[in-house]
Structure 1
Amino acid sequence: MTGKFAVVTGASTGIGLELARCCARDGYDLLIAANEAAIEDAASLLRQERGAGNVFALNADLATIEGVDKVVAAAEGRPIDILMANAGRGLGDSFLDQDFVKIRAVIDTNVLGTTYLVHKVGREMRNCNEGRILITGSIAGFTPGSFQAVYNASKAYLNSLSFALREELKETGVTVTCLMPGATETEFFRRADMLDTKVGTEEKDDAAMVAQTGYKALLNGESDVVTGMKNKIQSAVANILPNEVLAKQHRKMAEPGTAEN
Structure 2
Amino acid sequence: MARSAELLKNPEFRAAMLEQQMFSLRRMYSDVGEALRLSPEEVDALFETLADHQLESMELAQEFLPRPGSAPDPDRVAEMQQRMAEIQRKQYEAIASRLGEARAQEWQQYLSTVPARWEVRELRAALAEAGEPLSSQQIEVLVDAIAQERRRPTSVAQNAPQSFSGPPSTRERIALLEQSFERIEQSNRRIREAVAPYLSPTQLAALERHQQQQLEMNRAGMRLSRLQRQALQQGGAIDATGAAVMGFVAVPVEPPADSSR
Name the structure where strand makes up a greater proportion of residues.
1
Kindly name which structure, 1 or 2, has the bigger radius of gyration based on alpha carbons: 2
Q: Per the shorter chain, which TM-score range?
A: under 0.3
Greater fraction helix: 2
